[in-house]
Amino acid sequence: MSSLRLGVEVVSAHDLVPKDGQDSSGVYVELQFEGQKFRTSLKERDLSPVWNENFYFNVTNPSNLRDLTLDAYVYSHNKATDKKSFLGKVSLTGSSFVPLSDAVVLHYPLEKQRIWSRVKGELGLKVFVTDDSYMSSSNPRHTTQSAMNVDPLSAESIPNTFSNERAESRRTFRHLPNSDRRKQNDNTFAAGPPPKPNVGSYEMRSGPRPPNIVNTYAGSMPMQPGEYSVKETSPYLGGGRIVGGRVIPSDRPNSTYDLVEKMQYLFVRVVKARDLPAKDVTGSLDPYVEVRVGNYKGTTKYFERKQNPEWNEVFAFAKDQLQTSVLEVVVMDKDLVMDDFVGLVRLDTYEIPTRVPPDSPLAPEWYRLEDENGEKIRKGELMLAVWYGTQADEAFPEAWHSDASAATDPTPGIYGHTRGKVYHSPKLWYVRVLIIEAQDLLVSDKGRFPDAYVRVQIGNQVFKTKPVQARTMNPVWREEMLFVAAEPFEEPLVLTIEDRLASTKEETIGKVIVPLTQVHRRADDKLVRSRWFNLEKSTSAAMDADAGKKDKFYTRLHVQVCLEGGYHVLDESAYYSTDLRPTAKPLWKNSIGVLELGILNADGLHPVKTRDGKGASDTYCVAKYGQKWVRTRTIINSLSPKYNEQYTWEVYDPATVLVVGVFDNSQINGSNKDTKIGKVRIRLSTLETGRVYTHSYPLLALHPSGVKKMGELHLAIRFSCTSLVNMMYIYSRPLLPKMHYIRPLTPMQQDMLRHQAVTLVAARLSRAEPPLRREVVEYMSDAHSHLWSMRRSKANFFRLMSVFSGLLAFGKWFGEVCKWKNPVTTVLVHVLFGMLVLFPELILPTAFLYMFIIGLWNYRYRPRHPPHMNTRISYADGVPPDELDEEFDTFPTSRSPDVVRFRYDRLRSVAGKVQSVVGDIASQGERFQALISWRDPRATVIFLLFSLVAATVLYATPFQVVALICGTYVMRHPRLRHKVPSAPINFFKRLPAHTDSML
């Protein structure tokens, strides 16, 4: 029976601290695991030593492997003094141990042992789990160290560890796994979750493991399953390898796209053609061009009856997907039945030059067309530019991409929906309208006074004033309302006065149309002049610019209207705001930094559609920050798409959130809505400036069947600060612009206006090409986060309990102190209490010093990774199916009456408990009011007499004495306590509340 072992390959170290005063150190590594120790050979005078030595530890209890820790200490040995100096350490938890087939060499940054330790550099380790069967199959001529019962570092087992003879005679284990076995395992992981390896009772995590995993996010939030956790990765990007947030430069030249992996593309620019031969009987030609590389084919648009067409279109073919060494550019003639061949140009891909920006674009050349046999045809030339480049090329955004289109395009003409693009949200304004009064209303029935109201409309936003039933033809309303408008202003402000003749019958008295381009814009709270508008009977008359020149009697409407530029128009959930700037650009402050995002790739995506009998996904990513939206190209028919696109935003406030969502492009199949896969939120204030965050984020989605992991999204993020002073100053400024505090909006107004703002943004972005559809905008903006659900209510309740858990814990601890459960602690509390009472000037310094020490203590437990959606906090891992069905129900409901009745009864039960708690809290407050309100005359007399005596005693007695007596009484010994409540508590509970007055 094979036993489980932990294998550790100590590869190398890099950039260590010199300790011998001669810019070098004799270095070795000491490994410790479960009481077992190993030591590598000593590398003399080398700050970047290489060992490549393997060690194996016995695992006594494989089921507890995840709870164990492997420690690797790097020491410098001084032969003269025979002492060792600490150079750094690396600690790895059992959750990062993987089978040998998944193991890779990772370079871990060395950690300090003490705060004042001087440590730098990295240690390269390869850690894996194996068994005896693998070790026995290794080359027997190579030896390896294995942990026995005797300590390998004891004096008996190693007489002279650092002797040169021992170092030279040491033999290391260099067996490499079978490449066929590794390839087979990779294919298995790509197809689905791998089988559990035969390593005793140790069970690996089900499902594919992302590469280069360093550690798993724990943080201070409640723990959740490992598959739902954020994991740090160490990818090779354009600037080098990322290890622990730092970039280890590579030999490759740096570029502006340093947060994504460099991808090579074959670019083909089809510029134009001339003197093309005619193919139709009529002597005309409808030319278009096909660019073919292996199985991939890109097609330009075609022109009707044009022998000298100009296309100027670019095609990009991923170099790692090229299956041939020949590039064919074919000119075809569009026909109803079968397209005719005109000519082609063949190029050898090995002779194509490489262009690296900022080199000038490659100049296009004229190529003579050939026939299918390779002979030059008599007429026809094609202008082309062909080169190799990367995603940093200027042609990349506008190019047709081979990885964004299937080898055989399933639906011709859908490529426009697969392009990547940068969008900008329209500039949003609040429109404030104050309806003051009307003058000289003209109604059809001269014998009655009108029951008039004003109907105000901008687009699909409609508000009405209250009807005024006054015996006059000059009604006064003075009602104010707010709208949302987007630049350029396409919808005017329409004011209509209507007369209510009956409950179902209304008559229009007149209307006025005000273009928003003519409305006054203000950035503060200064008074805006009101205006009188003449009303017209019809819309055409109201839009007539010359109507004001006509000499006639008018009904007039007195209105004050302005565009509010001092507000930030909330078009997303207030908790996840990506922008907090006001609308008026002169009020913007200087930017404080730059946010860079590299969308690398996705892994393990779940198929959301079926194509050719197999599961498929056509995914793209959308990132939103501020007014800038970005959309990557769509990768068709791939469950592990690679995007490698980088974007940049200016940052004006660190208390903002970057949102990245993944969607399935349903337009390819002609469906109506794109499918939501998952999203990631990253708050900028949680990021360290200058650090590169490379993590894989689980894409969590809530379905009617429960929470599901739809895959993982790999991102690279860097927040660079341009002005540290400005950023620190921002923390003292209000979160929202000044107008939100001078003239605040009510919560009801905020919800209504936010809904209108999201509708406007979705309408504008859906008109772009390719469109950013409404469901995408609503999902990214959390448009439906305000809707009620039982799950969210429970989650918020548990969040509240978690916030007050500290106070509850303190109360429990203080109760134990008062009950003298630990006499030593109680005596110390008495001593501290006496010191603070006798020297009250020490109270605030002690409190702040305590918080300072606690803050320093918590530094070691600080979050190492950006926070992500937590299933435990969201109460998504234990929610019943019926509550999930209720959350996904439409509004209004579409369920049967029996289901709705059950849910209503359940809601009444829950709300009844909440009602009782709220009532109890209100009763306690009303009892405090009853002390001096004479609702209970006898209790009020008792309290007034007590207050008079207390005032006299406190006036004559020093405060320290009173505090000492009260504190000592509260913390008195249990023998001095009664089992029944004290007199003050009994008196307070007897006071009346307003519960007697409730029906």
DSSP codes, 5-68: EEEEEEEEEESPPP-SSSS---EEEEEEETTEEEE---BTT-SS-EEEEEEEEE-S-GGGGGG-
Q: What is the pTM of this model?
A: 0.70
Q: Identify the pLDDT of residue 693.
A: 92
pLDDT less than 50: residues of the chain: 136-144, 146-220, 407-412, 549, 551
Helix (H, G, I), strand (E, B) or coil at 636: coil
Radius of gyration of the CA atoms of the chain, in A: 37
Class of domain 427-541+553-564: mainly beta
Q: Identify the pLDDT of residue 204.
A: 30
CA nearest neighbour of 451 among 467, 472, 473: 467
Q: Which amino acid is at 543?
A: M
Name the E strands within 816-951.
none
- Relative to beta strand 145-146, strand 50-58 is parallel
Would you identify the CATH topology of the domain 264-412? Answer: Immunoglobulin-like (2.60.40)
Query: What span, in angstroms and rounded, lies between the C-alpha atoms of 669 and 408?
Result: 14
pLDDT, one tens digit per residue, over 732-767 is 888 899 999 999 999 889 989 999 999 999 999 999
Name the E strands within 141-218.
145-146
The answer to whether residues 74 and 27 touch, using CB atoms and an 8 Å cutoff, is yes
Helix (H) or strand (E) segment spanning residue 429: strand 428-439
Q: Identify the pLDDT of residue 702.
A: 86
The token pair at 400 is: 């047709």
CA nearest neighbour of 127 among 152, 145, 102, 153: 102
Q: Identify the pLDDT of residue 410.
A: 44
Residues of the chain with CATH 2.60.40.150: 5-130, 264-412, 427-541+553-564, 585-781
Architecture of domain 585-781: Sandwich (2.60)
CA distance between the termini of the chain = 77
User: Each residue of 662-684: b (16+ CB within 10 Å) or e?
Assistant: bbbbbbbeeeeebbbbbbbbbeb
Query: What span, in angstroms and rounded, lies between the C-alpha atoms of 82 and 950?
Result: 74
The token pair at 88 is: 């750094």
Query: What span, in angstroms and rounded, lies between the C-alpha atoms of 895 and 885?
Result: 10
Query: What span, in angstroms and rounded, lies between the C-alpha atoms of 829 and 834?
Result: 8
Architecture of domain 5-130: Sandwich (2.60)
Helix (H) or strand (E) segment spanning residue 642: strand 642-651
- Rounded to the nearest 5 degrees, what angle is found at the Cα of 311, between the Cα atoms of 307 and 317? 130
Helix (H, G, I), strand (E, B) or coil at 318: strand
CA nearest neighbour of 663 among 706, 614, 612, 624: 624
- Relative to beta strand 122-131, strand 98-99 is parallel
**Other CB atoms closer than 10 Å to residue 921's CB: what's the count?**
10
Q: Which amino acid is at 996?
A: D
The answer to whether residues 260 and 238 touch, using CB atoms and an 8 Å cutoff, is yes
Q: Quick one: DSSP state of residue 488?
A: S
